[in-house]
Amino acid sequence: MKKQYFLIVVLLIYSASAFAEIPRTISYQGLLTDTETGEPLTGNFNLTFRLYTFNFCDDDDITYAIWEETHENVQLSNGIFNVILGINTALDEQTVTFNQPYCIGISVGEAEELAPRIPLTSSPYSLNPQEFPVPLHLRERTDGVALIKGNNISSVANSIGVKGIHETSGNYGFLGHDDYGVYGYLNNDHFGLGAVYGKADNGNIGFLADQWYGVYSYHDESENEAYLTSDEYAFFGQNPLGKTNGFIGGDNIAVEGNQYTDNDLLNRMGRLATEEYGVYGEQYSNYRTMGYLAGTLAGAYGESLYSGRTNYGCLACTADLIDRIGDVGTSVHSCGVFGYEGDNNNWGYIAYEDAGVFGVYTNKGHKGWLGDVFAGVHGVNESTGNYGYLACEDAGAKGIGNDYGIIGFSSTGTGAYGRNESTGNYGELGHPASGAYGKYSPNGNFGYLGNTSYGAYGQYNPNGNHGFLGGSEYGAYGKHNPNGNFGYLGSSNYGAYGEYANGNYGALGLSNRGVYGESSTGFAVRGYYSNDENEAFGYLGGFGMGVYGRYIESMTNWGYLGSDTYAGAFGANVYIGGSCSITGTLTKGAGSFKIDHPLDPENKFLSHSFVESPDMMNIYNGNVILDEMGEAVIELPEWFGVINRDFRYQLTCIGGFAQIYIAEEIHNNTFKIAGGTQGLKVSWQITGIRKDPYAVKHPIIVEEEKEEKLRGFYLHPDLYGQPDEKQLEWGRDPEIMKAIQEDNNE
């Protein structure tokens, strides 16, 4: 009998890297329910899976299956199962090519196959091709691209800003790569570089309408490639085996031709009828050079390609030329010399209006100036906000950074040196004794980075304040020299440690505790909370208390734990949401029960006061029906006589009247009522005074003299017109209360 079912399917293709061979397995998940009850199945079942080509998806004949695999004892929990297809029977690439639509059929045990068969979504088809198709200008990529499972996922890798994968379709892409801004792969034979993409079995590829070309094609065997309607040419083609290429209808270039050497190096090229120059030439050997003289935009222009890097340069450059050859944003200037490294958009000026030298490393957001208005040397990392100066107005070396303020490199001497002649400030990067060194001459402040003892060290010379990062004993250390306060981070014993000159100290991240503090004059640890409406603070270890906390707007809302007087003390209301067990004596000003009002629980409470007595009194009661003699014997619990003494009796007739009385007092936990008539109902009540061992040892003292230090203090001073300082705790622990009050006033 076929079963109705509902399947939630997740298909995952696992790969070591984006351009490596893909394991031919499929992760398959589903939900199975019973057709009669509609309930999800639970237990261990044998599941058989079969793949069919799409034309047999609506057929019920299992002999058309092109692949079959059985998983024994698959555990189903609330109907959900997970299996890996292809681990028992391989998904042979000759039979299951994933180059056409498939559907999957499932059988439970020996039952018929479930219907209908389910079409596979796009994820498994990423098993073909087993290598991602890459056009010629991307074939040399070696970056690893990790694909992460999820519907919408972003991640930061070494050279990728954002990465995403669409689980259902298998499409993926990333943004902000060091080679291009956007890269995409569509599982349905769409490479993401064009509107249409195709690849033949022999490796030939082509696409239409990407960001560079209208049409692009590449022949794998010959490595010939050509494109139409790019932003540069109407037509471009090259024949690597023939060692020629050329284009027609370039940007202000009518015709261009190129000729290669036997070593596949472009030997020479020429152009005719360009807008900027009449004659243009290039010469190639181990590297490429080109240039022209007396152009419309520069006195001289040159370009070099070496080891895959395209560099540009000009002399007597105009801003228009610089803007044209380099992606330099809005910072375009006329200059004496301009250089541009085109592969990574690195560029720089010599002798322009803002500085003697200016350079940009685009991929990292690095910029630097020599001889600008701020310093002899000035550098900025725009991606992180790090910046630094050498020989600036107020310091020999100054830097702000997430990892380093200043860093320099040198193999034999100082990597970089800067000096401000008007102040005497100077700085060095790549110093023989340290990575960087700087000095502020007017007061002698100095600092250095990366020497044999510290990662970084700095000193404020007038008073000797100093600190360092990355020492042999500490990750960070700082000292205020005039009063001796110091602290450090990352030692062998503590995550963080600080000590005040009077001996107070604290630590974070110890081997046996997260926070530790010690103080001889105040609290070891203090915490404070504040928002627009509330303020509260607390302490650990101080003035004779283990823990103290207070709500600031109320002087009475305080409490502490662990003093020499109390395990815990509270200055105001205390709320306990569950049961409360007290093994000692409960002393209170008043007592009651409080519940939601049974007649209006949404809007009202109902309260009853406790029954109070100067004695430690127990009350017992009940109702009894008199027998034919007008009598009744009441049996009390066996423990009654053990815990009670000095009994009192009360009897009340119900529904009639009789001269009832206690015929026999309590003996062996029973007493007798007599004097009534048959069937008369009598209500009885017995009271006793506790005589159990705890009551005997801890009797209630009805009237008690206050001890000497508590005289003049009150449990509730406000009821007698007295200030808060007359509260009983001020008499009991005046030092604690005074310390709390003083800290409250800070």
Specify the DSSP element, H or E, that contains 695.
helix 693-697
Identical topology for domains 5-127 and 617-697: yes
- Dist. CA 338–CA 340, nearest whole Å: 7
Question: Which residues are CB-neighbours of 85 under 8 A, at least 6 positions away?
Answer: 25, 26, 27, 28, 49, 69, 91
Residue 235 vs residues 134, 243, 249: alpha-carbon distances, Å: 22, 18, 7
- The number of residues making up the chain comes to 746
Q: What is the mean pLDDT of residues 218-222?
A: 80
Top pLDDT among 283 and 743 is at: 283
Residue 652 vs residues 86, 655, 658: alpha-carbon distances, Å: 88, 10, 9
Q: What's the confidence (pLDDT) of residue 521?
A: 63
- Measure CA of the first residue to CA of the last residue in the chain; give whole Å: 81
**Per-residue model confidence as pLDDT tens digits over 81-127:** 999 999 999 988 888 887 788 899 999 988 889 888 988 875 665 55
* pLDDT over threshold 80, residue 605: yes
Q: Minimal CA–CA distance to 185: which of 357, 18, 375, 431?
A: 18
pTM: 0.34
What SS3 string covers 618-664? EEEEEEEECCCCCCEEEECCCCHHHHEEEEEEEEEEECCCCCCEEEE
Q: Which of 142-146, 282-286, 489-493, 520-524 has the highest mean pLDDT?
A: 489-493
Q: How many CB atoms lie within 10 A of CB 590?
A: 7
* pLDDT over threshold 80, residue 167: no
Question: What's the pLDDT band for 20 if we cut at 50, 70, 90?
Answer: very low
For the domain with range 5-127, which CATH number is right: 1.10.3470, 2.30.110, 2.40.30, 2.60.40?
Answer: 2.60.40
* pLDDT over threshold 80, residue 11: no
Q: What is the mean pLDDT of residues 267-273?
A: 71
Question: What's the pLDDT band for 55 if we cut at 50, 70, 90?
Answer: confident
Question: What's the pLDDT band for 697 if we cut at 50, 70, 90?
Answer: very high
Dihedrals φ, ψ of 533, to 5°?
-115, -30
* pLDDT over threshold 60, residue 316: yes
Dihedrals φ, ψ of 345, to 5°?
60, 30
* pLDDT over threshold 60, residue 248: yes
Q: What's the confidence (pLDDT) of residue 551?
A: 57
Top pLDDT among 579 and 512 is at: 579
* pLDDT over threshold 80, residue 705: yes
Report the percentage of the chain scoring pLDDT > 90.
Answer: 17
Question: What's the pLDDT band for 147 if we cut at 50, 70, 90?
Answer: very low
- Dist. CA 590–CA 719, nearest whole Å: 15
Top pLDDT among 716 and 739 is at: 716
Q: What's the confidence (pLDDT) of residue 687?
A: 95
Q: Which of 238-242, 423-427, 596-600, 690-694 has the highest mean pLDDT?
A: 690-694
Query: Residue 371: left if φ>0, alpha if ψ -120 to 50, beta else—which one?
Result: left
Question: Which residues are CB-neighbours of 58 under 8 A, at least 6 positions away?
Answer: 116, 117
Question: Which residues are CB-neighbours of 293 under 8 A, at least 6 positions away?
Answer: 299, 300
Question: What's the pLDDT band for 682 if we cut at 50, 70, 90?
Answer: very high
- Dist. CA 586–CA 584, nearest whole Å: 7
Determine the CATH number of domain 617-697.
2.60.40
Q: Comparing 82-91, 167-176, 349-358, which segment has the lowest mean pLDDT?
A: 167-176
Question: Which residues are CB-neighbours of 399 under 8 A, at least 6 positions away?
Answer: 386, 387, 388, 389, 405, 406, 436
Q: What's the confidence (pLDDT) of residue 469?
A: 74
- Dist. CA 413–CA 395, nearest whole Å: 22
Q: What are the structure tokens assigned to 324, written together?
A: 């044209």
Q: What's the confidence (pLDDT) of residue 658?
A: 94
Q: What is the mean pLDDT of residues 389-396?
A: 74
Question: What's the pLDDT band for 210 if we cut at 50, 70, 90?
Answer: low
Question: What's the pLDDT band for 685 if we cut at 50, 70, 90?
Answer: very high
Q: Which of 133-137, 311-315, 510-514, 687-691 has the highest mean pLDDT?
A: 687-691
Identity of the residue numbered 622: G
Q: What's the confidence (pLDDT) of residue 379?
A: 81
**Percentage helix, strand, coil for the chain under 3-state DSSP, each rounded to 5:** 10, 45, 50
- The domain segmentation of the chain, as residue ranges, is 5-127, 147-231, 617-697
- Dist. CA 709–CA 199, nearest whole Å: 97
Q: Minimal CA–CA distance to 551: which of 573, 524, 523, 522?
A: 573
**Per-residue model confidence as pLDDT tens digits over 553-602:** 555 566 666 566 666 667 667 777 677 778 777 777 677 778 888 898 88
Chain mean pLDDT for the chain:
75
Question: What's the pLDDT band for 635 if we cut at 50, 70, 90?
Answer: very high
Q: What is the mean pLDDT of residues 30-50?
A: 88
